[in-house]
Structure 1
Amino acid sequence: MTITTEFRLRSSALPLVSIPATLPPDKIVCSHALCLEPDARVFIVEIDAEDDVSEAQLAALDEVVTVTPLGDRGDTTVYKLTVELDDSISPAFDPERFDGAKMKSTNITSEGWHETKEFKDYETFHDFHTTFENHGISLDLISITPDQSSSNDRTGDELTDRQREALTLAVSRGYYESPRQVTAAELAEELDISQPSLSSLLRRGERQLLTSSLDVQEHINTLSK
């Protein structure tokens, strides 16, 4: 089952955050990234033409190795930037670790990256999350949505939308890991509900998934009478 995630990455060592931090744009858009070698990446970025950022200004940034103007796209100017990654974070950007992840356009500000990314499964996202956190890059999950059309063996589980949302968040945040990486109270706060309500959602959702996958609903209904 593929999943679509929206999240923020926060670290002063992230590539390209130096542009909105030191030059006129409040935000730039990265539409593509390509890994050349472990410590270097090529980024295709779009900068609002009204901000009047020059090739020389971009080339003067410490992290930028080369700058290639690619022309205009609407109201934006497009550049190809070769960027040298900070040694502290370059392992986190190794594409071979996350070949099941597909990047959509990323908004970059001086505070970090606001990104939407598709992953082939929850495990791949969890590895992605853990790797970035281990390299000092905070990941704040905004939303996570499973693509039900990509799964043929999990339809008919009869979860409510709220149960699915709670279970999806719990899995993505490491609630079912050993040891747990998030508390029930923290999950409840993210969902803006009470901890008892969260526990009830998880318990009912877990029960529904188990009964659906094990095909024991009829036996449980009999015992409940």
Structure 2
Amino acid sequence: MTVTAELLVSSPSLPFVSFAESLPSNQLECEHGLCHGGDSRVFVVHLDPADGVTEDDLIALDEVVGTTPLGREGDRDVYQLDVKLEDIVSEAFVPGRFAKAQIEPTTIIPGGWYEKKIFQNYESFNNMRNHCDEHGIRIDLISITQDSLSQDEHSQYGLTDRQYEALALAISHGYYDNPRQATAGDLAEEMGISQPSMSNLLRRGERQLITSTIGTQPSLTNPST
């Protein structure tokens, strides 16, 4: 199973967020290697010519230490930029720590970085979000979807499709986090069912998972007897 997440990544330490705010279009696109290495310093940016950005404007940015014009692609001016990253950004994007990949260019807007990524599973997404949070980088989830599931991925535990959907949704929205990030009512609204129905789905799914993984074990004999 894989999941695709649309995210808004926000932190004052992220490169080019303030720059996007100064542009008439309020946005620019870029490709970067932070999915593959936290110390990656090469960004390829795509700029709307109507924004009137020059190479001198780019080199004047605090985070830019080098520029290379790459010409024009489609209707965008393209530059390769060597970027100075703040430590918390490098530490948050640890190479190889999470199974994920960028599947669309990053759109940088005044609010942060809009990104679309594919993750190995919900747990990988949640681990990445928690890790970024520990480094002061906020991850706001816009949407998350899972690929088509094979029967083997949940029927081996005896879960119904609806139980699996409810549990996966709960995990992705932080229902099992401490502190809890979503209520059963929040999940019910997203699934289009009542809160009692959602709670029942979760309870039955949890019981089925526990039963299928632990099973009905015989009572242990007290060693002292």
TM-score by length of 2: 0.77
In 1, Cα distance between the equivalents of 2:121 and 2:184? 25
Work out whether residues 169 and 187 of structure 2, in 8 Å CA contact, stay in contact via their aligned partners in 1. no
Is the alpha carbon distance of 1:184 and 1:5 closer, same or farther for their aligned partners in structure 2, counting shifts above 3 Å?
Answer: same
Amino acid at match of 2:161: L
Please identify the structure whose Cα radius of gyration is greater.
2
1:87 aligns with 2:92: no
Flag the 1:208–1:132 CA change in 2: closer, same or farther, 3 A. Answer: same
Alignment deviations for residues 43-94 of structure 1 (CA, whole Å, 9 cap, x no partner): 1121112212111101100011111111111111111111111123320022
Corresponding residue number in structure 2 for 1:21: 21
> Which has the higher mean CA deviation after the structures are superposed, 163-172 or 9-18?
163-172
List runs of 5+ in structure 2 lacking aligned partners: 216-225
Change (3 A) 1:197 1:72: farther
AA matched with 1:159:
D
* Aligned equivalent of 2:107: 107
DSSP-derived class of the 2:114 partner:
strand
Q: Measure the CA separation in 2 of the matches of 1:141 and 1:192.
A: 17
Residue 18 of structure 1 deviates from its aligned partner by 2.6
**Consecutive unaligned residues in structure 1, runs of 5 or more:** 217-225
Q: 1:132 to 1:58 in 2, by over 3 A?
A: same
Contact 1:184–1:198 (8 Å) recurs in 2 = no
Q: Please name the residue that 1:138 is paired with.
A: 138
Matched-pair contact (CA < 8 Å) for 2:70–2:78: yes
Q: 1:108·1:114 contact (CA, 8 Å) conserved in 2? A: yes
Partner of 1:184: 183
Distance across 2 between alignment mates of 1:77 and 1:33:
20
Partner of 2:11: 11
Letter in 1 for 2:15: P
TM-score by length of 1: 0.77
What CA distance in whole angstroms lies between the structure 2 residues aligned with 1:125 and 1:35?
13
Counterpart CA distance in 2 for 1:94 and 1:13 is 16
CA RMSD of aligned residues (A): 3.1
Aligned residue for 1:126, secondary structure, equals helix
Summarize the alignment of residues 119-158 of structure 1 with structure 2, pairs less than 5 Å apart: 119-148=119-148, 151=150, 153-154=152-153, 157-158=159-160
